Amino acid sequence: MTEEKIVIGEATKYPLNGILSIPNETNGLIPAVVLVQGSGPSNMDAKVFNNLPFKDIAEGLSEKGIAVLRYDKRTFVYGKEMKHEAGLSVKEETIEDAILAADFLRKDSRIDSNKIFVIGHSLGGMLAPRIDAEGGAFAGIVIMAGSPRKLEEIMMDQNDMILNSLNAFLRWIAKKQITALSSKLENIYNLSDEEAKSTPVIGKRVKAYYFKEMGEHPSTHYLSKMDKPILFLQGEKDFQTTVHKDFEGYKKIMGNKPNTTFKLYPNLNHMFMPSVYGELLKAKKEYKVAQHVNKDVINDISDWIYTV
């Protein structure tokens, strides 16, 4: 594998450093994937404490003859500049750059332009169908630990999970904070765009518009119209998105659509690494344990790409 340093959006206001992993041994044009990170600022390796899941995936797929493009997230590089943008949405944060990454691959003469895929993890998986529809135009989509639900629903579920694990005194304090957040989130779709842009929801920086804009473009809208190949992957011990509400939720939406594949992995967490503590409250401790993405996951993605 050769790793080439590249820049996504070189002519834009927000150029981003990235790496294109190219297999050393190739026979004709190469299939390729774009990796899209989850929520929050994230570097090109999707680094979480001592884990580098996107580096693992890039190296694993390149060993299988698949080129992989990964790049720093816009908010990771330009967070200070962007924190003052009241109208910040997932479009500016994630979608635009993923489409630029797909265009970058199409211009590379080594890449099979008909075999470019997107792999979205967590929030990136939730957005992958929209990225495809708004210009990604991929040959297929891989959704890792995604959700068909709205972002605010997932957040409130996680808050409830934490609430139920606290002692009585802490629960009383936390419940007041969670109730206040819930009332803000419940009202976001009653706001105009301009009102939403000036209404803080979490702290002073995260505005209602971020949730409103994403909620008005639900993944279910894109998935219901889609007939291209989609691979849904989920770790059984994931405590951030769940088998019951998210993985099974996707199954209900997709019904008997052809070209849809589901894979559930025993004892793997949100990052598709072995579960350590298996609790949301211990997420920080769990992700500080240095591990690697399970090889079966990488093999399944590779096999799927070659059979599409």
Residues known to be catalytic: 122, 238, 270
Q: Where are the beta strands (DSSP E) in the chain?
A: 2-8, 16-22, 30-36, 67-71, 111-121, 140-144, 200-202, 206-207, 230-235, 260-265
Q: With contact defined as beta carbons under 8 Å apart, do 148 and 266 qualify?
A: no
> In whole angstroms, what is the distance from residue 164 CA to residue 9 CA?
44
Residue 239 · residue 279 · CB < 8 Å: yes
Euclidean distance between CA atoms 168 and 69, whole angstroms: 48
- CA atoms of 264 and 81, how far apart (whole Å): 39
Quick check: 1 and 62 in contact, CB under 8 A? yes
Angle between helices 123-131 and 96-106 (to 10 degrees): 60
